[in-house]
Chain A
Amino acid sequence: MSTTAEQSRPPAIALEQLERHYGDLTAVAGIDLAIADGEFFSLIGPSGCGKTTTLRIVAGLETPSSGRVSVRGQDVTDVPAFKRTVNTVFQHYALFPHLNVFENVAFGLKERKVSRSDTRRRVTEMLELVGLTGREKARPKQLSGGQQQRVALARSLVLEPAVLLLDEPLGALDLKLRKQMQMVLKEIQREVGITFVYVTHDQEEAFSMSDRVAIMHKGKIEQIGDPVDTYRRPQTLFVADFVGASNRFEARVVERLGSGSYRADMGTLGTLDVPGVAGLAVGDQAVAVVRPEAIRTAPGFGDAVLDGTVTDVSFMGPQTQYVVDAGGLGTAAMLSPADDDDLLHSGAAQQFRFAARSAWLVAADPGPVDDAQ
């Protein structure tokens, strides 16, 4: 999200060459990142990719092995956690069990020696914002998971931090509540205008809320971009896999067409003109990624045709997912809207089609994808 403010103000968070090692283990393997003021930014990746460690380093709860952390242009690498102007919403909320809701939210204000009347006013306002007015005297234990989540949020936001860090804040909630809290979080972020850095392993959650996302893998950032771009134009096979189901077809680059397109030999699919990542050379082995929703059965659709047999049908309400055995091309997944009149049945032989321009070419993975998900 490039705004004019971004150019004039220093980034809310800047990480330079950040690394963190635990003995032989590398949790964070060199991260450079700038997060703009007011941005809703998500760090996503499979568990163990270093996203939580990165967040904890920004909070000051973890010390980096090397590299720098800046908040609003000020180097805070050596500033202890309690003196930083960032606050964290913890995965399991970490509400103080011996304090009631009001006292929990007022905790940080007391450390800052805010006057009694100001504290009362700010806490009341904050509880109103998160919809917990009237629950001031309740103990955390007496609240539901969603309410505890709101207290944790209020407790951090009341301090008006430069950046709010959220570590899988919705991980402990059930699906319905999670969806609801996603809306609440997004609304609150817009209202208060504070930079949110959100860590999750759930790409759908990240995509639905964020301005930009960074996909992390093995301690490194694989790709940064807005959700649409990341989904449509993944830079690596790992990203393509992580940000949603994808079909892969082997391809070999036979010609560079300019404007980011390649002519690729795709075996039985024929030779197709497919857009892809920059920097592929003629003769390179590549993978064409095709999203399940890009595959159709309508006759005459697109320019790539594969013959296959439906092996599995999963009706999911708004859409139906098919698993297709495409012979020498392997298995493929297809997603169709549910209003599709002619639902296919398991065992049906059919032509499946997609447009070559809806496919996306990435370099073939040098090694095995061992820990995707």
Chain B
Amino acid sequence: MVRRLPSMVSAFTVLVFVFLYLPIVVVVINSVNADKFLVSWGGFTTKWYAKALNDERIRTDFITSAKVAVASSLISVAIAVAASLWARNARVWSRRALDATTYMRIVLPEVVLATALFIFIRRLHFQLGVTAIVIGHVVFNSAYATVVIQARLATLPISLEEAATDLGASPRRVFQRVTFPLLAPAILVAVLLTLSFSFDDVVSSLFLGGTNAETLPVLLLGLIRISVTPEVNAIAVGVMLITLITFACAAVVATVRGSIGVRSTPQAPDVEE
């Protein structure tokens, strides 16, 4: 019995992974399957990718997705840096308030946030579209970015900035020469993370895009309602690759920055998903 238990556990584990990843494998395989109806393997082809790339709508949606990702990422990180720096010198209660809103934005279901924002925007007679999607993404992205930046800031002793001040640097110069360079790795990680979160978001983009703007994941959702064409598989793989690559970059930066090291004392654990 003692020996059999682990093998059952590992069998179950394998099963879970198969369940999780098999669909993705199927999608990847089918994206290069020459069989139009995807019922059997019809040989290797890249024509679905070519077709997807030549599709005007897909290209427009890709650009929309990219715009939204870049804009929401940069705005989110700027907010996160400002909020984190402010929180350091804030009173305990204000700091707790910031933490509460940060975690609320992460914990609350996205549907709730998106619905609320949708109603709010309509009430204000503000147009749905790219800007609205960006705002929607900033809501959760700024929260993730704040967590990353704050974790980094916690490992930086305030005496570094005091030393810079003491040596004659004005507050602006202290930020330029000390705070920002020391935060840079965390800022990069935050940018990459938020880019990938934004790029594969469906809910907020769907609610807030209206008829004016459509992102790639939203297009995908629309397409699979009709039928799963080989082209859909190609787009899905494309979205997946973009997200994966940014995420991998974030992971690499996070590890490399650990080895560069900022303090001689052991570092606090990095907070990243």
In the complex formed, the residue of B with least CB distance to A108 is B167
Q: How far is the CA of A92 from the CA of B163 in the complex (A)?
A: 11
* Other-chain contact of B162, A61, A98, A155 (Cβ < 8 Å): A61
The CB with the most chain A CB atoms within 10 A, among B168, B171, B173, B174, is that of B168
A131 CA / B174 CA spacing, docked (Å): 28
B164 contacts the other chain (Cβ, under 8 Å)? yes
Q: What is the predominant secondary structure among interface residues of chain B facing chain A?
A: helix
Q: Which of B159, B168, B174 lies in contact with A92, CB distance below 8 A?
A: B159
Partner of B182, one of A60, A97, A159: A97
Judged by a CB distance under 8 angstroms, whether A82 is at the interface is yes
Q: Is the CB of A82 within 8 A of B162?
A: no
**Contact B168 A112, beta carbon cutoff 8 Å:** yes
Interface residues of A in 68-92 (CB under 8 A from B): 81-83, 87-88, 90-92
- Contacts of B245-273 to chain A: CB distance below 8 A: 261-264
> Does B157 touch A at the CB level, under 8 Å?
yes
- CB-nearest residue of chain B relative to A105? B167
Q: Known contacts A59-B166, A88-B166, A108-B167: does B160 contact A96 (CB below 8 Å)?
A: yes
Q: How large is the interface on A (under 10, 10 to 19, 20 to 34, 35 or more residues)?
A: 20 to 34
Does the CB pair B162–A90 fall under 8 Å? yes
Query: How far is it, in angstroms, between the C-alpha of A98 and the C-alpha of B177 when the chains are bound?
Result: 10
Query: How distant is the Cα of A90 from the Cα of B109 in the complex, in angstroms?
Result: 47
Looking at the complex, which one of B157, B160, B166, B264 makes contact with A82 (CB distance below 8 Å)?
A: B166
Contact with B along A140-161 (1 / 0, CB 8 A): 1100000000000001100100
Q: What residue in chain B is nearest A142 (Cβ atoms)?
A: B264
Of the candidates A92, A97, A156, the one having the most CB atoms from chain B within 10 angstroms of its own CB is A97
Inter-chain contacts of A87 with B (CB < 8 A)? 166-167
Minimum CB distance partner of B159 in chain A: A94
Chain B residues lying within 8 Å of A81, measured Cβ to Cβ, are: 162, 165-166
Smallest Cβ-Cβ distance to A85: which chain B residue: B168
Contact: A107 with B164, CB < 8 Å? yes
CA distance A61 to B161 in the complex (A): 11
Q: How far is the CA of A155 from the CA of B167 in the complex (A)?
A: 8
Structural contact, B168 and A96, CB atoms closer than 8 A: no
Please give me the residue from chain A that is nearest to B265 by CB atom: A92
- Flag whether B151 is at the interface (Cβ < 8 A): no
Judged by a CB distance under 8 angstroms, whether B181 is at the interface is yes
Does chain A have a CB within 8 A of B178? yes
Give the residues in chain B near A140, CB-CB below 8 Å. 264
Instruction: Let me know if A61 and B178 touch, CB within 8 A.
Output: no
Please name the residue on chain B nearest to A112 by beta carbon. Answer: B168
Mask: chain A, 166-189; 1 = CB below 8 Å from B; 0 = not:
000000000000000000000000
Q: Indicate whether B240 reaches chain A with its CB closer than 8 angstroms.
A: no
Interface residues of B in 126-175 (CB under 8 A from A): 157, 159-160, 162-171, 173-174
Which of A60, A91, A98, A156 makes the CB contact (< 8 A) with B167? Answer: A156
Minimum CB–CB distance from B265 to chain A (whole Å) comes to 9
Asked if A111 is at the interface (CB within 8 A of a chain B CB), the reply is: yes
Q: A82-B166, A90-B162 are in contact. Are A107 and B157 (CB under 8 A)?
A: no
Bound Cα distance A267, B173 (Å): 68
Q: Is the CB of A94 within 8 A of B261?
A: no
Contacts of A88 in B (CB 8 A): 162-163, 166
Sampled A-B contacts (20; CB under 8 Å): A81-B162, A82-B169, A82-B170, A82-B171, A88-B162, A90-B159, A91-B159, A92-B157, A94-B157, A94-B159, A94-B160, A94-B162, A94-B163, A96-B160, A96-B164, A98-B262, A107-B169, A107-B177, A108-B167, A111-B173
Having A61-B166, A81-B165, one finds 10 other A-B pairs with CB under 8 Å, namely A60-B166, A61-B162, A82-B168, A91-B159, A92-B157, A95-B163, A96-B178, A98-B262, A111-B168, A156-B166
Question: Which residues of A are interface residues toward B (Cβ below 8 A)?
Answer: 59-61, 81-83, 87-88, 90-92, 94-98, 107-108, 111-112, 140-141, 155-156, 159
Please name the 7 residue pairs, one residue from A and one from B, whose CB atoms are nearest each other, closest first: A108-B167, A94-B163, A111-B168, A94-B159, A97-B262, A88-B166, A81-B165
